[in-house]
Amino acid sequence: MEACLKAFRSTGGSSNPTLQLPSPCDTIAAGYQCLPSLSHHWGQYSPYFLVPSLITPTLPTQCTLTFAQVLSRHGARDPTSSKSIAYSHMIAKIKDYVTRYEGDYEFLEDYVYSLGADQLTAFGEQEMVNSGIDFYERYQALANASVPFIRASGQQRVIESAEKFGQGFIHAKVAAGGTRDAYNVVTISEARGSNNTLDHGLCTNFESSNTSFVAQNTYTSTFIPSITTRLNDNLLCANLTDADTISFMDLCPYETVADPLGTISPFCALFTQSEWENYDYYQTLGKYYGFGPGNPLGPTQGVGFVNELIARLTSAPVRDHTSVNQTLDANSTTFPLGRSIYADFGHDNDMTAVFAAMGLYNNTPPLSTTELMTVEEMKGYSAAWTVPFAARAVFEKLQCEDAAEEMVRVLVNGRVLPLDQCGGDTLGRCTLSAFVSSLSFAQDGGHWDRCFTSTSNDGTPET
């Protein structure tokens, strides 16, 4: 230990200035806007923020909304149980071996790891209340005559997110002079073997695939080792590994959303903007190669929900042989048709699979595992832009004076997608029939037949 102290030298933690929070910086309309150069690059751990859109999200003139379906991720949460244990052990190791803390690292001397596991934080609860208010305000014409039919996947944080959304929706409706309507949340079990379109788990070969691990592990070597060296130079004798460095970066968003106001954590100042951009790309690779087009069976995990969406858009019974819960969907109480507003709540991974099953990001080129790609190069695809905490995708149906048929638009976190796969116009609209036709991958069951055959580790059938 004495040798470690003699060798101690301070290299500084970051080129960032001291971080200050303009409180509050999480709003109903724009989401989290505190230090966006950092916080909008935290991958799926970014708090929800309004994503820039090349197509105006404003309702096109001469169009009337007839239908709105939101698919939402739960609000900000504590780390998962396994990660919370890993973070706690890492901090304990630092406390055991490091005796001097200087510069941006001084806060660690008094830092105590106290994050929970798996549950919504107070900040995450407010995100969902805000989401319900925002949904009501955008779709007030529909909402005044109804309440959303709400479903939630069966994990507690998802159920609570649905309830908080409902509270926000009703609060906004009453504030606008409407009635305090009752609403219920239909819960779909996440028990092992349960059919659930909002939570994967049935496709055996998919569950054992390792494509995301391989992709992320490859990219880690391009940017993490130099950060690990810097951390060890400043936390002498900690002997942090590259995996520890990623955990260190994770603590920035997790500690931020653990604060009720979303106060930026001191962990965030230990890394540069460039490093956060690499971190965001690292997380994006995990989604793309884990549940998106980079995994041969990733899009198939979203097929069930897409077929439910088709049923709601067309007021026709669900046709699916994959993950749909046939008992629930055959019952008009637990899966009603003919409603104008719906709200479903689940997880980031499953939303990623749904987007892939729909082909919403078909213009995104294959993601490099060795070189950073910008969100522009990825055609608007990134974990932070698609599945942050409290992410929301809205599927709108419109009746427009310039079209004989109803039209469909899709907004992901406020960004109107171009819908090139179904001939989207300059306003991001496709005809309903063209939109449904473009979903043939889901209607054909995706690659569900490959879920239970002999495969290689990447999910492709063995020959």
Q: Which residue in the list 74, 200, 347, 447 is annotated as catalytic? A: 74
pLDDT of residue 457: 55
| Average pLDDT score over residue span 399-416 | 96
Q: How confident is the model at residue 226 (pLDDT cuts 50, 70, 90)?
A: very high
- pLDDT tens per residue across span 61-84: 999 999 999 999 999 999 999 999
pLDDT of residue 424: 97
pLDDT of residue 2: 39
> To 10 degrees, what angle do helices 303-314 and 348-358 make?
70
pLDDT of residue 312: 98
Q: How confident is the model at residue 456 (pLDDT cuts 50, 70, 90)?
A: low
Closest by CA position to 328, among listed 197, 133, 440: 197
CA dihedral (301, 307, 310, 311) positive or negative: negative
- pLDDT tens per residue across span 99-147: 999 999 999 999 999 999 999 999 999 999 999 999 999 999 999 988 8
330-338 contact pairs (CB < 8 A, 24+): 334/186, 335/308, 335/311, 336/149, 337/311, 337/312
Sheet strands (E) in 111-236: 149-153, 185-188
pLDDT of residue 15: 41
**CA-CA distance, 395 to 71, in Å (whole number)?**
8
171-185, 266-280, 419-433: lowest mean pLDDT where?
A: 171-185
Q: Average pLDDT, whole number, for the chain?
A: 93
pLDDT of residue 458: 56
Told to judge if 41 belongs to the known catalytic residues of this protein, a careful annotator would answer: no
User: In b/e form, how buried is each residue of 407-438, taking b as 16+ CB within 10 angstroms?
Assistant: bbbbbbbbbbbbbebbebbebbbbbbebbbeb
**CA-CA distance, 138 to 136, in Å (whole number)?**
6
pLDDT of residue 182: 87
23-37, 107-121, 167-181: lowest mean pLDDT where?
A: 23-37
| Average pLDDT score over residue span 195-203 | 96
- pLDDT tens per residue across span 81-105: 999 999 999 999 999 999 999 999 9
Q: How confident is the model at residue 5 (pLDDT cuts 50, 70, 90)?
A: very low
- More confident call, 15 vs 170: 170
Structure-token pair, residue 19? 């971080």
pLDDT of residue 460: 52
**CA-CA distance, 367 to 379, in Å (whole number)?**
11
Q: Do 401 and 62 form a contact (C-beta atoms < 8 A)?
A: yes
Over pLDDT 70: what percentage of the chain? Answer: 93
Q: How confident is the model at residue 12 (pLDDT cuts 50, 70, 90)?
A: very low
Q: Do 186 and 344 form a contact (C-beta atoms < 8 A)?
A: no
Q: How confident is the model at residue 272 (pLDDT cuts 50, 70, 90)?
A: very high
- Other CB atoms within 10 Å distance of the CB of residue 243: 14
**Quick check: 291 pLDDT over 90?**
yes
Which amino acid, residue 379?
Answer: K
**CA-CA distance, 252 to 39, in Å (whole number)?**
9
- The SS3 of residue 240 is coil
Q: Do 49 and 141 form a contact (C-beta atoms < 8 A)?
A: no
